[in-house]
Chains A and B, each alone.
Chain A
Amino acid sequence: MSRLEIKLKVNGRSRSFAIAPGEVLLDVLRREGYHGVKRGCETGECGACTVLVDGRAINSCLMFAAQADGCSLLTIEGIAQGDRLDPIQEAFLDTGAVQCGFCTPGMILNTKALLERSPQPTETEVRDMLAGNFCRCTGYTKPIEAVLTAAILVGGLKGSRTASTAKRKPR
């Protein structure tokens, strides 16, 4: 079996990986030290292995690494600016949305993609998005709050929203 070389960007850095043709992106990323990409089910249900490929959230267990050739990836390791956390990370911490933290990287990345696409999401949109990230600890109440809070923080940083919209009515 011949190994392939793929060239891609991970967290802004150009990388090239030697991969087996049947390998999934999840296995390659973990082997290359991106441990924030978690293995939860390997059937594309739990979302713990979520990464962004060209800005879109995908389950890296359901993507052949070969298909990531030429793509630009974002993993949880690339979200913070050095020691400065991303507002989404801050929101997850402040709202108590993190318990065991195993599903958290996937949730944060999925949130990142959602907020790029829809900067002021409705709670329905947030729930639809988080349905792709299984969490057995939180019951989703605080993660939903975290995403809505993050939308305000991110919007606030862009100068388009004020904190007064922070309180949203739950469903």
Chain B
Amino acid sequence: MMPWIESFQRPTTIPEALQLVRRGGRRARFVAGATDVLVQADPSTRILVDVTRLKLNYIKRQGKGWAIGAATTMAALEQSKEMQRLADGILAQAAATCGSVQNRNLATIGGNLANASPAADSAPPLLVLDAEVVMVGPKGRRRLPLTKFFRGVRKTALNGALLVEVFIPPLPKGRAAWSFHKLARLASDISVVNAAVGLGLDGKGNCQWARIALGAVAPTPFRLLEVEKRLQGKRLDRALVEQACAQVGEQVRPITDVRSTSSYRREMSGVLVRRALLECAEGMGHKL
């Protein structure tokens, strides 16, 4: 309940939505599934602009990639046959861990990203998928890699713009496997650490490319580029995986909070990345 809300607008076009928020200034806020807006219940928010009627609820082919409307719910992602197949289903799996069935029926991909929680479960899979976000603002439409979208804890590059779409570019060619891992205190819970990994191997077991992203261990979900570089071009064996995972611990900047401690999160970052890498290798039939 937010009794201080003065106006709840339900525009049907994007320009109308943008205008409403612009007119409201700091007092206005976009709302989609409302699962974060209502829990945060920010008393400075007086005007809500609903974006669920802007026809942003879709999962569709775009060129060789995928375009996902920002108002697509976690439940839709989780149940989408295409998303269950895409990249071994890591995005669908992550969506399926975003709270309860009831919340997944409301929570949207756009909301999950725009809320910019360090622990957002959809972020690591999208980061390793090299996803881009499409924003529409007063100055028009722009596209940004997701890596540049997160600016800090609950801070994004939106700056009054509306997140309208998430674009997943075509996946790398060749032999590849993907993995998503989440560690939480209990099965249905906010992540203590979440990790996504994509791995491309050649026929000899050499790492063609690796993409690694972690959540809940830094102010924003992020890609571990140095670790990825260390793996690239080398034969994937136990020793390499262990080296990479040791390096993971150096890349994270976790905090201690009610959910876990900094040192535990640091250590688990390495464990999850190792498990994800091993799962990818196994998925490609590569024995370590």
Contacts and interface: CB of A to CB of B under 8 A. Distances in A.
Interface in B27-52: 31, 33-35, 38-39, 48, 50, 52
Interface residues of B, number: 29
Interface string B90-118: 00000010011111011000000000000
Contacts of B103: 44, 59, 62, 132
Contacts of B1: 22-24, 27, 42
Given A20-B3, A22-B8, A67 B34 contact: yes
A24 B100 CA distance: 19
A129 interface: yes
A147 to B, nearest CB: 12
A67 B50 contact: yes
B101 A132 contact: yes
Interface in B47-85: 48, 50, 52, 75
B188 interface: yes
Contact of B75 (A1, A21, A56, A62): A56
Interface string A14-36: 00000011111001000000000
B7 A2 contact: yes
A129 B101 contact: yes
A116 interface: no
Q: Which residue, B6, B100, B106, has most C-beta atoms of chain A within 10 A? A: B100
A58 B38 contact: no
Given A42-B1, A44-B38, A62-B38, A21 B8 contact: yes
A20 B35 CA distance: 18
Q: Which of A23, A43, A58, A63 has the most CB of B within 10 A?
A: A58
B187 interface: yes
B105 A62 contact: no
A1 B4 CA distance: 8
Given A21-B8, A21-B48, A42-B1, A61 B100 contact: no
B-side binding surface: helix, strand, loop or mixed?
loop
B108 to A, nearest CB: 12
B120 to A, nearest CB: 16
A74 interface: no
Contact of A22 (B3, B96, B105, B188): B3
A47 B101 CA distance: 10
Interface of B: 1-8, 10, 31, 33-35, 38-39, 48, 50, 52, 75, 96, 99-103, 105-106, 187-188
12 contacts: A21-B7, A43-B39, A44-B38, A57-B101, A59-B103, A64-B48, A66-B8, A67-B10, A69-B10, A110-B101, A113-B101, A132-B99
Interface of A: 1-2, 4, 20-24, 27, 42-45, 47, 50, 56-59, 61-64, 66-67, 69, 110, 113-114, 128-129, 131-133
